[in-house]
Amino acid sequence: MYRLNEEKVFADYVDDQMVALMIETGSYYTFSPAATAIIKDLASGYTAAAVREALRKVFGEAYDEAETNRLLQRILEAGILEETEGEGKPLDDAMASLSGSLKDGGFVLEMEAYDDVASYFMIDPIHEVDPEVGWPYAKKDD
């Protein structure tokens, strides 16, 4: 089983896509709708096997298990999800991976990483800002 690594990640959903901010580094990730559905289901306690089965049902021959496994590995390596103990839930109709709207976007598993604004996220807005300019400008060394 898996869970969202809430100690290291802040995640939010915009429409059918997820954005995950890594609290310790300030880098962030965006995910395609199909990748977001996978994360939602895994974080909700469904087994990886149930997610694969759901995706197979939705995408048919377009489904690629190796690509799904690569995405899961990247998500784990990034620290967004972490493995936990337990059996996990089997396939059921409530799964995000069974959403009919996923088929419209095709079987696209994208996970894009960004660190272009990481330095802004790492500034302490109380103690490290320039009082003349405000956040997100860091104090200059005296």
Domain boundaries, the chain: 2-119
- Spatial distance between the Cα atoms of 111 and 30, rounded to a whole number of angstroms: 6
d(C-alpha 116, C-alpha 109), whole Å: 22
State yes or no: pLDDT of 20 exceeds 80.
Answer: yes
Is 122 a residue whose pLDDT tops 90? no
Q: Give 25's pLDDT tier (boundaries 50, 70, 90).
A: confident
Predicted pLDDT of residue 125: 59
Q: What percent of the chain has pLDDT over 90?
A: 67
Return d(Cα 3, Cα 124) in angstroms, integer: 28
Task: With CA atoms as reference, report the closest residue to 20 among 124, 136, 112.
Answer: 112
What average pLDDT does range 75-102 have in this prediction? 93
pLDDT band at residue 110 using 50, 70 and 90 as cut-offs: very high
pLDDT at 32: 96
Element containing residue 72 per DSSP (H, E)? helix 65-78
pLDDT digits (tens, 9 = 90+) for 45-58: 999 999 999 999 99
Sign of the four-CA dihedral 74, 78, 82, 88: negative
pTM above 0.95, yes or no: no
